[in-house]
Structure 1
Amino acid sequence: MTRALLVATLGVTGALPPAPPVAAASSPAAGAAARADVPDTCPDGGAGCVDDTIARLRDRFAVLGSSCDHHATFALAYLRTTQGFKWGRDQDGYFADNAWVNREGGLFAEYYYRAYDDWAAGRRSAVPGAWLVALDAARSRRLSGAGDLLLGMNAHINRDLPYVLERVGLIAPDGSSRKPDHDRVNDILAAVIDPLLAELIARLDRAGFDTGIPTSAALGLLVGWREQAWRNAVRLADARTPFARTLVELDIESGAVAIATGLATLTSYVPPLSGPGPRAAYCAERHGSAPPVAYPFGVPPAY
């Protein structure tokens, strides 16, 4: 029953019912202050910024993956997607402006680091609501692997990405839109999604990714989220008054929390029929395995 609901929800619209308030979630005003503190570590968009991001993501995944922490599912997906981003960027003419996408990638990762590190340090009022739902759920080990992955992606795409896009700028100096480069990332997602799923199944949670959802539907969901993130970034950039901006931020924050809470409901274990035990045992045995399928950039090491 749960699987059927998840298939129907993700395969058709990706929309979920409104969620209840999240305790200790940050307000838009608090979120604005927190965003101002997120460092732009790649302001010039140098090529080395992506290498630095990959190195940091690899270090984080190594800790989470080797301990079979439920946060490892999103960390592995983020690492492999960023490696795929580098592969795409290094193809001649793939992006119109490599410096812009390099800067975006570096800043985007900083939002993830900040949310996770604030959460781990107990600074809950500084953590965006969608991230609180995702990170708390992973710590409680109450969701399947697919649930942990989707909640992380929701928080990072639906919540973080609009703010990142607005900060790096939606319009190039010549007046053209940055949207084509934004959309090219969708091709990278399409190239990595199948080997990523194979790796997640082989190393972390075999049963938890047996959702019955075709990868084409999952990809369509992510592409739809990224399109909405762009539109929300435009709304942020077009907001002419503090009040107008607050309304946009409320929409972004509450929408991401609603999706997170709905997904958490659909992907929760149902004791005593299911629970995290088999996942833990499987991961303990398999987490150090090499990826079973080559990515476009090759077969990366396990850690």
Structure 2
Amino acid sequence: MGRRPRGARRWTAVAMAAVIALSGGTASAATPAPVTAGPLMCQGPVIRCVQDARRTLEGIRDRLGCDHRAPFPAIYVHLERSLETVVAHGEPFDEPSWLAGSLNTGFVNLYLDAYEADRAGRPVPAAWHAAFAAARTADVNAGQDVLLGANAHIQRDMPYVLAALGLTRPGGGTRKPDYDRFQAVLDRAYGPAVQDVADRYDLIVALADDRWNPIAGLTGRELFRSWRAQAWEHARQLVDAPDQAARDRVARRIETNAAQWARLLSAVRLPGYRTVRDDYCRTHTGRGLAPTRP
């Protein structure tokens, strides 16, 4: 994966053009889908695409320092490492060029688009706005920051990129088995990712999920599973919608669902906890807070 190389296979440009078509163009308020190709392009071996995504996310994580936006790219790095290991060992996917290539690239780009738009002061989807706003001002723990980012990325972003790339293979047959197999990649990354967030940003995340997760009765791992299942269903509804009005209705459900989850995830506050987190992070990483919009 590289930075817009000449002659590259522009997976993400194609995907984002399809998203615009699904959403009825860039001006539809009902369907605020992404409209740019994003900075990452997949070319050559799939593992190279995954490695470039990982390095890009590592750069964001490192630049953010102890900023409360950092835990989400930190866990994302672990996911890309897990995917990199799977691809390197040739574990069986029916269509690795789709899963680890075009889908992974397109998905990472949607996070990068939201991050850069927020950084520049441009509007972002409601779920992302809630995640970034909580990271900037709220007394939430780092686990909540992770869940807020994951909610926006999985429940809001994923349906669009899935629908744009298509839910069936070119020769026929559903891509759902590969999508489901990817859950194992997530599961392998989950433990190390949680521990890394605890070590770097917030010790409370090392405790049992029910101590920091505001969604009683569900672990973070279980939430990710549920959200991924819902994302596929929403993508199917986008693909199956018979006309633009129907697609707009699905898009409104996607946006509303992710925004409602964001409000729920950010509802629990602990006054003064931002200072506790900042002191802990500086002590354990030697890093300070990033500028307001780094």
TM-score (norm 2): 0.80
Structure 1's unaligned 5+ residue stretches are 1-26, 290-303
Matched, 1:175 2:172: yes
Matched, 1:136 2:102: no
Secondary structure of the equivalent of 1:265?
Answer: coil
Q: Which residue of 1 aligns with 2:80?
A: 82
Q: Which residue of 1 aligns with 2:241?
A: 239
Mapped contact 2:30–2:248 kept (Cα < 8 A): no
Matched, 1:61 2:61: yes
Which amino acid in the other structure matches residue 111 of structure 1?
Answer: L
- Deviation, structure 1 residue 33: 6.3
- In the alignment, the residues of structure 1 paired with residue 250 and residue 33 of structure 2 have an alpha-carbon distance, to the nearest angstrom, of 17
Number of equivalenced pairs: 255
Structure 2's unaligned 5+ residue stretches are 1-25, 288-294
What's the Cα RMSD here? 2.3
- In the alignment, the residues of structure 2 paired with residue 217 and residue 132 of structure 1 have an alpha-carbon distance, to the nearest angstrom, of 24
Residues 144, 173 of structure 1: CA spacing in aligned structure 2 closer, same or farther, 3 A cutoff?
same
Residues 113, 105 of structure 1: CA spacing in aligned structure 2 closer, same or farther, 3 A cutoff?
same
Mapped contact 1:70–1:141 kept (Cα < 8 A): no
Offset from partner CA, 1:142-167 (integer Å, 9 cap, x none): 21111111000000000000001111
Residues 33, 232 of structure 1: CA spacing in aligned structure 2 closer, same or farther, 3 A cutoff?
closer
- The 5-angstrom pairing of residues 115-126 of structure 1 reads 115-124=114-123
- Deviation, structure 1 residue 253: 0.1
Mapped contact 2:194–2:205 kept (Cα < 8 A): no
- Deviation, structure 1 residue 41: 4.2
Offset from partner CA, 1:226-264 (integer Å, 9 cap, x none): 011001000011112110000000000000000000110
Q: Which residue of 1 aligns with 2:152?
A: 155
Mapped contact 1:61–1:75 kept (Cα < 8 A): yes
TM-score (norm 1): 0.78
Q: Which residue of 2 aligns with 1:51?
A: 51
Residues 226, 34 of structure 1: CA spacing in aligned structure 2 closer, same or farther, 3 A cutoff?
closer
- In the alignment, the residues of structure 1 paired with residue 30 and residue 89 of structure 2 have an alpha-carbon distance, to the nearest angstrom, of 36
Identity of aligned residues (%): 32
Q: Which residue of 1 aligns with 2:198?
A: 201
- The 5-angstrom pairing of residues 1-40 of structure 1 reads 29-30=28-29, 32=31, 34-39=33-38
Residues 234, 46 of structure 1: CA spacing in aligned structure 2 closer, same or farther, 3 A cutoff?
farther
Residues 224, 137 of structure 1: CA spacing in aligned structure 2 closer, same or farther, 3 A cutoff?
same
- Deviation, structure 1 residue 28: 8.5
